[in-house]
Structures are given as structure tokens and as C-alpha cells.
Amino acid sequence: MHNGATVFKDQSDPQGRTSGRLSMALQQRGVVGVLFTAPVGIILLLLLAYPFVLGIWLSFTDTIIGRTGHFIGLENYFYLLFDDVFRLTTFNTLLYTVAAVFFKLVLGFALAMVLNRDFKAKGLVRAIVLLPWIVPTALSTIVFWWIFDSQFSCISWVLIKMGILSHEIDFLGNPNNARASVIAVNVWRGIPFFTIGLMAGLQTINQSLYEAADIDGASPWVKFRKITVPLIMPLLAVITTFSIIWTFADFHLIWIMTRGGPANATHIYGTLSYQRAIPGGHLGEGAAISIFIFPILLICVLITAKYLRREE
């Protein structure tokens, strides 16, 4: 009896100690914190960080679909640097990004200024303005594809009826027209992001600043330049950074409308890497093309980080 009790006690003691340790560990911030963040950490490590590194590795190999590749060093990169299509793609990507972000910024900011006042149905107008942003881009792109049809475009129809043109515009068949068309669609889709983001920023500007400027007799342009722009700058920088990343790394808008054509005039990094990697089968080369997105990404990240830290 006595013996049994000791044995029982001996057995229970280490158990008691471990459960005590467990509950003590669960009181510690470090352990609890790790447990709460572990699921997200694991998912992002396995499906984001690992593929990211794998992509860099693939770009140094000659992997094609169905065959494991060998390490070939920088061969893919050298090949690309002397590839005319790739050079044209680099030009297209820069043009697409600069032009689209510029127009999105200017028009989005303009619309935010127009809407930055009290009027009836403000909520409704704001909801309507966001529509191009929330509707699936692939689906709205299909609509633009139809608007830019070579035979039945409604834009051509109007211009011909008005007597401005004598024949249909070849929107997507002519290189420069095609470039302008895909940029226009990107601008259409991206304006709401700038407008809604900037409207939120404009509302936080203290109205007394404008009143003080009014007393000093400042013109609307001076008020805009000296009050609105400086105060909205940090927010504008973050919005623009996001927009640059998304535009630079765009894919589906162009893939649906032109597939990079005509004559590669609208190929950007995203579409070219898809074309070479998936239908073309050259995974290594495709990965190398997509890696070229990375430097721009890095610069954007650094800019964002700078502004985020400043706000903290």
C-alpha cells in the first residue's frame, strides 16, 4: 500500500513537472507568439519563400517541361541579353509601366480632387468609381478586347459616323495602337485605386490650412502645390509604389488582349516569361525572364519601407 503510493507518486511527479513546464511555457510570450504565427509562417515559407528561391535556382538551369535541368550558370541571362525579343520586351515593360502609372496618377488624383467636396450622392459616386477596380480584370479586359475589335469596334463606328475617319482603326493589329490600347485599359482599371486612396488622404488634411491660405489670398493652384501635395506625399508615394509593382509585373490584361503581339510589340516580362515557360516549355529561361522583375520590385520595396518607417 505504502509502496504502491510511492510508486504512484514517483510516476506522477515527472508528469506533473512536464505539465507544469508546458503551462509555464504557454504563459511565455515567445512560445505563445510563435504558436499563433506558425500557420502563416509555414504557409508563406513553403509556398512563397521556397518557390522564390526555387525560381532563382531554375533561372540558372536549362530545365524544360518533363526533364530536370542542369546547372548552366548565367547562360539563360546571356542568351536573353542578346535576344532581340527580350530587348524589345524590356522597352515595352518600361513604356507600359511609366505611361500607365503616369496617367493613373494624374487622372486618379484629378478625380480625387473633383470628388473632395460634399455633394449629394457622394457615397454612390464613390461606389461607382471603384467598380473598374473590383470587377475581375480578366472579364473587363474581355470587354475592352471587344471594344477594340478590328471590324466592329464601337469607337471606330462613332468616328466613321462623325466623318472623322474613313475606315476602321486597327487597334490591336498595329504595334503602336496596340501599345496605346493596353495602356488605356490598365489606366481605366487603375484609376479607382489612386482616387479612393487619395480621397482618404485628402479628408485628413486640416481645413484651417486652406482657410489661412485663403486669407493670404493664395490661388487654388498655389494651395494645391503648397498644402495639398506636400501633405499627401507620403500616401501618394505608397500608392504609386504599389501601382508600379502591379503594373510592372502585370500579366493577364496583356495576355488576354494581344498575347504580346503584334510582332511582340506588347510583350512585357510577365507575358514573355509565361509564353516561353508554359506553352514553350522552357522553364529555366522563363524563370530568368521573371527574375528581371526583381530589381524594380526591390527598389519599390525600399521606397515603401522608407515611407513606412517615417510614418512610424
Partner 1 sequence: MAQRFAQKLLRFYIPLILFLLFLLFPFYWMLVTTFKSDVELYNLSLNPFYIYTWSLANVKHLLFDTPFLRWLFNTFLVSVVSAFISLATSLLAAYGIQRIRFRGSGFMGIAIFFCYLVPPTILFIPLATMVFKLKIWDSLVSLSIIYPTFLIPFCTWLLMGYFKSIPKELEECAMMDGASRLWVFFKVIIPLSLPGIVSAGIFAFTLSWNEYLYALTFISSSLKKTISVGLVTELVRGDVYHWGPLMAGALLGSVPIALIYSFFVEYYVAGMTGALKE
Q: Is position 178 an interface residue for partner 1 (rule: CB under 8 A)?
A: no
Residues 179-198 that bind partner 1 (CB under 8 A): 188, 191-193, 196-197
Phi, psi angle pair for 249, to nearest 5°: -100, 20
- CB 9 → partner 1: shortest distance, Å? 28
Is the Cβ–Cβ distance between 277 and 283 less than 8 Å?
yes
Q: Is 231 in the site for partner 1 (CB under 8 A)?
A: no
Segment interacting with partner 1, rule: CB under 8 A, options 12-20, 81-89, 173-181, 290-298 = 290-298
Of 34 and 74, which has the nearer Cβ to partner 1? 34
Q: Which listed residue (22, 67, 294, 306) binds partner 1 by CB under 8 A?
A: 294
Q: Which 13-52 positions form the footprint of partner 1 (CB under 8 A)?
A: 26, 29-30, 32-37, 39-41, 43-44, 47-48, 50-52
Using the rule CB under 8 A, which residue among 22, 106, 200, 222 binds partner 1?
Answer: 200
Range 106-145, binding partner 1 (CB under 8 A): 107, 110-111, 114-115, 117, 119, 123, 125-132, 134-140, 142-144
- Which residue in the block uniquely carries the three cell numbers 471590324? 151
Interhelix angle 137-147/175-203, rounded to 10 degrees, is 130
Residue 136 or 230 with smaller CB distance to partner 1 = 136
Q: Which is nearer to partner 1, 108 or 179 (CB)?
A: 108
What's the Cα-to-Cα distance from 127 to each of 121, 130, 133, 306, rounded to whole Å?
10, 5, 10, 32
Q: Which of 85, 238, 262, 307 binds partner 1 (CB under 8 A)?
A: 238
CB 198 within 8 A of CB 109: yes
| Distance of closest approach, residue 301 Cβ to partner 1, in angstroms | 6
Residue in 99, 124, 128, 129 with CA at minimum distance from that of residue 112? 129
223 binds partner 1 (CB under 8 A): no
Task: Kindly state the smallest distance separating residue 307's Cβ from partner 1, in Å.
Answer: 11
67 to 96, contacts with partner 1 by CB under 8 A?
none
> Three-state DSSP class for 61?
strand
CA angle 125, 127, 129 (to 5 degrees): 70
Q: How far apart are CA 69 and CA 59, in angstroms?
A: 10
Looking at residue 227, what DSSP letter applies? I
CB of 87 to partner 1, least distance (A): 19
Question: CA–CA separation, 157 vs 167, rounded Å?
Answer: 9
Backbone angles phi, psi at 254, to 5 degrees: -75, -40
**Of 171, 177, 197, 191, which is closest to residue 116 (Cα–Cα)?**
197
In the bound state with partner 1, the residue whose beta carbon lies nearer, of 10 and 312, is 312
